[in-house]
Amino acid sequence: MPSGFVHSVKVPRLYKFAAKIVRDIREKGGSLKSLLYEQKHPNVSAIYSLCLNTLQKEAQLNYLLMKTGMLIKEPRLDPWLAKILITELLWGKKSLKTDCKPVQTILTYQTQLWQELNNCSDIEALQASNNTVRKPRYVRVNTLLLSVKKAIAFFEDEGWSLLSECSNYTTHLTAVKNLSKPKFIQDFHIPEILIFPPDTSFHKHSAYQNGEIILQDKASCLPAQLLNPEPGSVVLDMCAAPGMKSSHLAALMENQGKIYAVEKNQRRYMTLCDQMKVTNSNCVVTLNVDALTLEADEYPDVEYVLVDPTCSGSGILDRQLTNENMECSPQRLRQLQAFQVFLLRHALLNFPNVKRVVYSTCSINPEENEQVIDELLEDVQNAYKLVSIKDMFKENWKNYSSNRYKCSDKCLYANFEVDLCNGFFVAVFERDFDVALPVYKRKGSYASKNVQENGESNSKEVGPVKKRKKRGKRKITKQAQETSMEENVLNVSTDSIKFINEIHTIDLENEDKPPAKKKPKKLIGKNRKQPNEGTRFRREINTN
């Protein structure tokens, strides 16, 4: 090996990808999980762990870079790659085994980095990283492939020790908060969930790779648990990808019955299909369609519906730990809320044989939670009742919806600081078949289903349609033009808005803006060009 740096040696892809993700999070405000989902690296779990660790240690990393003067002395060293490499060296594998120039540069500062870290006097910077509350590792046993009893036995054979069951939820939370290796405990509410100490990794565990265990947060398991379909039931999961909840429903139903798992986005749909295969969820029928186009005559036997729509993701702990931008503009919240109301209304009023509907979000914003439920309570009248989860759980849960709203405290909130899981909201509707279901009328002049090419609607409830020989486009009524921005989001055909279904995140603010074009010449008389329907809709959104 020649002396000096070997310039021809490339930086490992793992470090390059991790550096790009961290840079995009900090410079562009991206989401860790969304950006990670776009990568095609075979070791996704390693990238996720390295990025999360880097973001959590950022205060210390900035301090070390300042004290060593590394970026000044090494102007060609990329700062984001430097942070990734230092994290790996100090808190990751504790070594860097490659001859590429950036790694060799970092290794020349190795002794100084350790000294500055040990002698660090900036206590506040260290505490900002070290005092972050860590979430325990939740593992859901896939009972379609492995019983809970056998799973516990396997973990005990590996050296883990199961703690005794707690008598109440408060005691259970204390036990979870104090978990340390080799202790683990069974969840208080969901018996198929096993809880391990923070930072426990199962990505390389054979049980995870073959689908016997699923790394799923407890809060994400609550919707399926509260929907509680019996074996043999027919269930509709309206926003199914990546498939965690669908596979949980299949396990609860013991693969008996049928689950329609719907996902519109093609890429996420493929992930959903893969998840159903690896978890052996044979009762699941995957549908690559828009859930808003599903009609009762096509799926008349649906008895249970899970509505877990796109939301702001403000309750996801990983975004909080990485200091990602959690602020959601009022406009974006209104758009999200409008879509959520539309989807939940479709679930409640479009399927007459439904017994129970569960609505959930990984958001802590009342605009996406209590306010959505309040609007639907008016629509369903007495045909559905809002089940009080507080009466179900009694003292064995701590957080519920606000009494300031019509739904009162009947809905469940998960709060990380108390419940030690992601922030979540869940509401349960139950059908009263003694009361007639209100007529399902889509608001305004549009229906959720697309208008056919000949200008005629697939639904009898579609508003006025003007037939044209060539284009067959719909005519926007004066009433539709005068509606608010929120109603326009509801009324427009679902294919007119490109919802980005990236792990509970969406950004409609830029999606609805047309690409910049040169200003056309002004025409007069009959030659004047009229705006098409899409342009007219975007103009209404932007002016509001």
Supply φ then ψ for residue 420, to 5 degrees: 60, 35
What letter represents residue 278's amino acid?
Answer: V
Q: Give the integer Cα–Cα distance in Å for 358 and 290.
A: 19
> In terms of Cα–Cα distance, which of 209, 185, 190 is closest to 140?
190
The contacts of residue 374 (CB under 8 Å, 6+ apart) are 405, 406, 407
What letter represents residue 470's amino acid?
Answer: K
Q: Give the integer Cα–Cα distance in Å for 486 and 537.
A: 12
Q: For residues 114 and 91, is the Cβ–Cβ distance under 8 A?
A: no
Residue at token pair 């410079």: 27
The contacts of residue 135 (CB under 8 Å, 6+ apart) are 198, 217, 317, 416, 420, 421, 422
> In terms of Cα–Cα distance, which of 134, 158, 148 is closest to 187?
148
- Rounded to the nearest 10 degrees, the angle between the axes of helix 44-56 and helix 13-28 is 50
Query: What DSSP string describes 450-498?
Result: PPPTTS--SSTT-------SSS-PPPPPHHHHHS-HHHHHHHS-GGGS-
Query: What DSSP string describes 40-75?
Result: --S-HHHHHHHHHHHHHTHHHHHHHHHHHTHHHH-T
Q: Give the integer Cα–Cα distance in Å for 351 and 404.
A: 30
Burial of 104 (0-12, 13-18, 19+ CB in 10 A): middle
What letter represents residue 48's amino acid?
Answer: Y
What residues act catalytically? 362
> In terms of Cα–Cα distance, which of 482, 502, 500 is closest to 491?
482
End-to-end CA distance of the chain: 66
Q: Give the integer Cα–Cα distance in Å for 499 and 495.
A: 9
Residue 435 DSSP symbol = S
What letter represents residue 391's amino acid?
Answer: D
Q: Give the integer Cα–Cα distance in Å for 502 and 26.
A: 18
> Could you write out the three-class secondary structure of 243-281?
CHHHHHHHHHCCCCCEEEEECCCHHHHHHHHHHHHHCCC
Q: How many CB atoms lie within 10 A of CB 19?
A: 23
Helix (H, G, I), strand (E, B) or coil at 137: strand
Q: For residues 461 and 295, is the Cβ–Cβ distance under 8 A?
A: no
